[in-house]
Amino acid sequence: MHWTVDQILALAPDPNTAKRGQGLANENKWLDIETNGRSVWGKCKSSGSVPYQTIVDLKGPAFKCNCPSRKFPCKHSLGLLLYSVSHKDNLTVASEIPEIVTTWLEKRDAKTSDSNKPKSKEEQKKADARKAKNFNDRMNIMQAGITDLQQWIQDIVRTGMASADHNVQEMTTAHVSYKSDASSELWRNMSMRMTDAKLSGIARRIREMSLIHGSGADWPSKMLEELSTLYLLAKGFERMDELPELLQRELLSTVGVSQKKDELHAQKGIDDSWMVIGQFVGTNIDNATIRRTWFQGEVSHQFALILEYDYIHQGFSFHWPKGRIFKGEMLFYPSITPMRAIMRNQTIIEKVVDAWVGFDDIEECFAVYRLQKGKNPWMMDHPMALNQMIPKNHEGKLYLTDAKGKGVPVLEKDMSHWKIMALSGGHPIDVFGEWTGEALLPLSILTQDRFIAL
Amino acid sequence: MKQKTMDLEKELVRIALVGTQRSPLSDECKTGLDNLGLPEAENSEDWILKGAAILSQMNRADFKPIQLSVNDKVEATLLDEKVCSPTSIKHLYMIVDGAFENALPEFLFNLAKHKKCLPPETLPHLLDLSLTSSELWGQLKKSIGKRGGWLIHQNPDWERLTERTVNTPWDEASNDERLFIFEKTRKKNPTKALEMLRETWSSESVNQKVRFLKVLDKSLKKDAEPFLEELLDARRKEVRRTAVQLLAKLPDSSLSNRMFERMKGLMTLKKRNHKKEKLEIKLPEKLGNDMIRDGIDPRVQWFKGGVKASRLGQMVALIPPKMWAEHFKMTPEEVVELFVRSDWGELLIQAMVEATFLHKNKEWTRALLSFRISSSDRQRWQSLNVSRLMDDLPDDVFNAVAIKGMKNTEGLLEENSPITQLLKTSASLWQDELTMLVVKNLQDWLAGESSRYWNGWHYRTILKKAAYTCNPLLHDKLSNNWPEESRIWSSWEREIEEFLSTLFFRKKMIKALSIS
């Protein structure tokens, strides 16, 4: 793969790391830079007595550095890759590959091939039996939790939502500003009971509900909506056996039974060039950084969502540069409306996003949305690519309108309303975002073949 | 049907809010739930929750887009503007994201120079910044293009940035509007503007009068002198003091001449054998009403040495510096020397700094700064404050003074020295000679220093300043000769790296903007 400086800088987690990485793309900063064709390594002089050992696997790329930085890739990794690109014809080819490099590369290779390694029949049988027993045990615990949940929700409606606990501290979750208070016992206790019942998805939603109480004039309707949605979930769980298999999977995933990545690796995914068409980064109720990266296959036109959490704020292990394209295999979590996925064997390509497939008729777009929602009542944020839209201000709100004048409201995020207006200049533009059920959260724009992340 | 559903929804929320134990389900509500296809449930809570869940699903799935007009038309030219290249856009993002934020003025300058436009998505952020910085707006407006002009009119906050027009007549306009009308008229028809001002002057408040005088300051000319002279007899001190300042700034004003005539009576140039002439000064003993009228405050002590000395200082501060040079037939440097030799040297020089600041005189700024920076008698001039002269310094004056100062510096630049203060505070662009002198000084110091505990913060500040004010084409030259073997190199490596990477960035940025 031929890397350009711009492509490498696009991998930087932030502008400062890019800047420092550029500063390190200098021979004076390095000792013993060598390559074996597939990878490049070297020692970067540090302020301590021992230099940092940095390795870049050009296949990917992947990075390893023993510096203490929590940024990924760190400035040393970027600096080394930048240096190796600008001096590719003069790099010393190693006569002997250091052990640390060999070990790391072998581990990387093993990781990708492990999931495909066949197990013996007996081993497989034992593993399946163990898995089935564990699953049944868990289902029993969850069923008890679901009964508890239904009773608890009914109790709230009987005694009145107004008398439920309330709170004061402000924080922002994925889309909405709420108020919160750690002393909110009612919600916290129930959330803990749900965690004990292995219903972590429900536990998190109950913690988020503590923020709704008193958060605005319409909090009672938001609260009833959330309570009733959980109630519907509980009712669905009770009748799980009657549901189609894929909807069962969706329901299990919603309540908190996540599928192991190893299991995903066992299935066949969709090979395509996956365009990174939008990304949302925010904080959830547990103060974890949440990143939703949206893709669309260039050939398949399929949307995919890579959802990641960073609970200890050490940075995400992989950077998905917005507007770039990765060739790779997208493995979807089983669902009746498959969206969430992981990617395997991804390689960034030189081309950038300059078009996507979307709707230029808003009503057609919502017809598809209704169809999806009808299939999957627990479907959360839905990707929407709206093309040839003109932004218009109407009664203080921004709307995207199609050629027929049909308009959808747009949520505001970091001056996104004004950026949309500026990029449009009153002319049609293509907008990608997440439909929250009430409005579109815009994430990116395409105009005159330019991709702009909001 | 839709209305009925909404009513049912509201009713369910109301009941859930107060609780079913206080507010049971009404018959109407029961019918509504039944119409949703929900037969009566085991208990009313279950019934309400199921109903609310169905309504919520229906609302989400059944979103109806609103109908808006399809007739808006926008000029097609908005799309044809020459936006800067993708590389320049990346550079701008790095600036806006904070990695090189101080490079914004240089980016905008070069963007306008090469007649390119800003990428539209950056306009909202930059227009917001411009609301609090007229300097930024002055640069930005050259590169916002037609699209930016269109966008500004979409946001009332940004509309304030555009050329304002006021159509209200002078005698009906508000205070702010009249300031604006006066400023505009003064530019087009100065005499008429003064006539308008005289017309309503007596009915203006004191604050408004002072605000008018500050506007007049922007277009100060000899024709305003009679009006300003009249204001010396104004009742309020604030008005008199502002008028004095403006009269003092007027070239060859009667006030300056009167003040210098008084000064002549207080000074004698005494010739001395084998020594240079000495200026002997008598302090003003009595203060007549004419001097008070001309702005000398009998009681304040703005200068050291008592009330009389302070009166002398006030007189000197109101005299245009060039009058001294003309009177003594000397250069500014020679007059400074003459003042220094006087027994009242410190007072005269400090008052001269004030006069130079008031008159923005380039030669005198240079003479006074050079004197302060190169003076060997540190003890005597320690309290001489020249920092006001360092603001808005012309580039040539800054470089001349700073180069002279650096050449006179041996070893470490001291933290509180005037040359350090000058290098740290001035926004002027550095000439290559100055850059090389400062960097060489730092390299020599790093090579010889061994104490990690002395941090040299002022060098770090100077380096940060230099990163944006020196010539970026020096990058390659400046990348050499750093004493990496120094014992304190590790404490400085990051700052040096940052300095060089900023220069490198600026070099690339300017190059990218210059490519058509």
Is residue B77 domain-resident? no
Is the same domain home to B397 and B516?
Answer: yes
Binary contact (B68, A6; C-beta < 8 A): no
pLDDT digits (tens, 9 = 90+) for B131-186: 888 889 999 988 898 889 888 888 888 888 887 677 788 888 888 888 889 988 99
Binary contact (A20, B20; C-beta < 8 A): no
Is residue B95 domain-resident? yes
Interface subset of B 135-164, CB within 8 angstroms of A: 147-148, 150-151, 154-155
Binary contact (A162, B13; C-beta < 8 A): no
Is the same domain home to B182 and B297?
Answer: no
User: Looking at the 3D structure of chain B, how many domains does it have?
Assistant: 5
Mean pLDDT across B252-257: 90
Is the same domain home to B211 and B280?
Answer: no
Chain B, nearest residue to A454 by Cα:
B121
Is the CB of B288 inside 8 Å of chain A's CB atoms?
no
Residue B2 has a pLDDT of: 60
Residue B73 has a pLDDT of: 60
Is residue B165 domain-resident? no
Is residue B261 domain-resident? no
**Which range among A93-97, B77-81, B274-278, B299-303 has the greatest average pLDDT?**
A93-97
Contact A70, A314 (CB under 8 A): yes
Is the same domain home to B275 and B381?
Answer: yes
Q: Is B195 helix (H, G, I), strand (E, B) or coil?
A: helix
A9 versus B401: the higher-pLDDT residue is B401
Mean pLDDT across B318-339: 90
The residues of chain A scoring below 70 in pLDDT are 1-2, 47-48, 112-119, 165-184
Mean pLDDT across B257-281: 84
In this complex, which of A366, A421, A422 lies closest to B65 when CB atoms are compared? A366
Distance (Å) from the alpha carbon of B331 to chain A's nearest alpha carbon: 49
Closest of B231, B284, B237 to residue B259, by C-alpha: B284
Q: How far apart are CA B300 and CA B306, in angstroms?
A: 9
Chain A, nearest residue to B92 by Cα:
A15
> What confidence tier does B319 reach under pLDDT thresholds 50, 70, 90?
very high
A305 versus B279: the higher-pLDDT residue is A305
Residue B402 has a pLDDT of: 92
Residue A183 has a pLDDT of: 41
Distance (Å) from the alpha carbon of B491 to chain A's nearest alpha carbon: 8
Residue A38 has a pLDDT of: 85
Residue A165 has a pLDDT of: 55
* Chain B residues whose beta carbon lies within 8 Å of the beta carbon of residue A175: none
Is the CB of B19 inside 8 Å of chain A's CB atoms?
yes
Quote the mean pLDDT of chain B: 87
Residue B487 has a pLDDT of: 80
A410: β partners: A440
* Chain B residues whose beta carbon lies within 8 Å of the beta carbon of residue A154: 43, 45-46, 49
Domain boundary among B109, B135, B159: B159
Domains of chain A and CATH, by start: 5-114 (no CATH), 122-254 (no CATH), 267-350 (2.40.50), 362-453 (2.40.50)
Chain A, nearest residue to B508 by Cα:
A22
* Chain B residues whose beta carbon lies within 8 Å of the beta carbon of residue A384: none
pLDDT digits (tens, 9 = 90+) for A374-396: 888 888 779 999 999 999 988 88
pTM of structure: 0.73
Is residue B296 domain-resident? yes
Residue A172 has a pLDDT of: 37
Is the same domain home to B502 and B432?
Answer: yes
Mean pLDDT across B61-82: 72
Chain B, nearest residue to A46 by Cα:
B490
Is residue B79 domain-resident? no
Residue B435 has a pLDDT of: 95
Residue A176 has a pLDDT of: 40
Is the same domain home to B407 and B373?
Answer: no
Binary contact (B150, A224; C-beta < 8 A): no
Least confident of A82-91, B24-33, B451-460: B451-460
ipTM of the complex: 0.71
Is the same domain home to B374 and B278?
Answer: yes
pLDDT digits (tens, 9 = 90+) for B93-104: 999 988 899 999
Query: What own/partner pairs with CB < 8 Å and gap ≥ 24 does B355-360 have?
Result: B355/B316, B355/B317, B355/B318, B355/B319, B355/B320, B355/B321, B356/B321, B356/B389, B357/B388, B357/B389, B358/B245, B358/B248, B358/B249, B358/B317, B358/B318, B359/B248, B359/B249, B359/B320, B359/B321, B359/B322, B360/B392
Is the same domain home to B441 and B361?
Answer: no
Is the same domain home to B297 and B397?
Answer: no
Interface subset of A 140-179, CB within 8 angstroms of B: 153-163
Domain boundary among B358, B376, B391: B391
* Chain B residues whose beta carbon lies within 8 Å of the beta carbon of residue A442: none
* Chain B residues whose beta carbon lies within 8 Å of the beta carbon of residue A228: 49-53, 56
Residue A294 has a pLDDT of: 97
State the DSSP string of A234-266.
HHHHHTGGGS-HHHHHHHHHHHT-PPPHHHHHT
Distance (Å) from the alpha carbon of A233 to chain B's nearest alpha carbon: 10
Percent of chain B with pLDDT over 90: 32
Binary contact (B67, A406; C-beta < 8 A): yes
Is residue B264 domain-resident? no
Is the CB of B483 inside 8 Å of chain A's CB atoms?
no
Residue A323 has a pLDDT of: 93
Is the same domain home to B398 and B453?
Answer: yes
Is the same domain home to B369 and B402?
Answer: no
Is residue B197 domain-resident? yes
Residue B214 sits in which domain range? 175-250
Is the same domain home to B429 and B497?
Answer: yes
Binary contact (B56, A229; C-beta < 8 A): yes
pLDDT score of B357 more than 70:
yes
